[in-house]
Amino acid sequence: MQINLAHKKALVGGSSAGIGKAIAYQLAASGASVTLMSHSEEKLKRIVADLPTHQGQNHKYLVVDFNDFEAYKRLISGYFEEHSIDILINNTQGPPAGTALEIQVVDYQNAFDLLFKITVLNTELALKNMQKNKWGRIINVASVSVREPLSYLVLSNSIRAAVVTWAKSLAAEVGKDQITVNSVLTGYFDTQRIADLNAKKAKEQNSSADKVLQEMESKVPVGRIGKPEEYGFLVAFLASEQASYITGTQIPIDGGLLKSI
């Protein structure tokens, strides 16, 4: 099966590293023109220069601050006044780690702005053109923790669950326009986010990051954490015409980590 995204335009959040970068690369490798979003212009310039252009693609980037919702709203609204997209990848950095007893009300508000409001805003702006063209793909980077909460990630557990249920509702409304809406439930992947979380956990447990990683890998049935490029393969498929009958789903990519059905 060949994934062909030629002449499609994609907007990928959090794409200067890790999962977002891998998604951007695979979409470009499949023929899409990609606009990257992140706070690091230096990294964005470097990645744009490395993205495949074999289909004559024109890749771009946006320097954004996902932690400042009002500034982000102004910037992304301006972008959509001049551009349209076919594929939207809703992805930002994760909120701070912490347990239910550690996290304060203000932290929930910040996480809501970061994970939920940005996702809804992006989608609202992208939908206008998708509905006009009767084609679109909205893919949300979520987490396995929406099914099986992780005690140390209460902000992510809570707000990402809201994103997933919102996405399910939206899918039922835009299916008639040949727009699919899916959420990917992310397991353990070899990213800086996981490295940072493991370092924090190691410090709390008076252990080492390597030992924490080994313990993490032992919980995954396939015996390892995921490679970001594997995530990119799944998203490229969901963005393709071959996945036109898949919508309203929550698809785990976790090496079998989830115990629930």
The ranges assigned to domains in the chain are 9-186+228-253, 188-225
Return the ∠ at Cα 227 (arms to 21 and 204), rounded to 5°. Answer: 95
Class of the 9-186+228-253 domain? alpha beta
Mean pLDDT (whole number) for 60-67: 97
Please report which helix (H) or strand (E) contains residue 19, including its range.
helix 18-29
102: tokens are 């550690």
Residue 95, pLDDT above cutoff 90? yes
Q: What is the mean pLDDT of residues 42-48?
A: 97
What local confidence, expressed as pLDDT, does residue 261 receive?
87
- Give dist(CA 47, CA 109) in Å, integer: 32
Q: What is the mean pLDDT of residues 172-182?
A: 98
Examine the pLDDT at 162 and tell me if it is beyond 90: yes
The helix (H) or strand (E) run that includes residue 61 is strand 60-63
Instruction: Find out whether 25 and 91 touch, Cβ atoms under 8 Å.
Output: no
Question: What is the pTM for the complete model shown?
Answer: 0.96
> For 226, which DSSP code?
B
Average pLDDT, the chain: 96
Report the pLDDT averaged over residues 217-236. Answer: 98
Which three-class secondary structure state does DSSP give residue 233?
A: helix
Q: What is the mean pLDDT of residues 37-47?
A: 97
Name the band, by pLDDT with cuts 50, 70 and 90, for residue 31.
Answer: very high
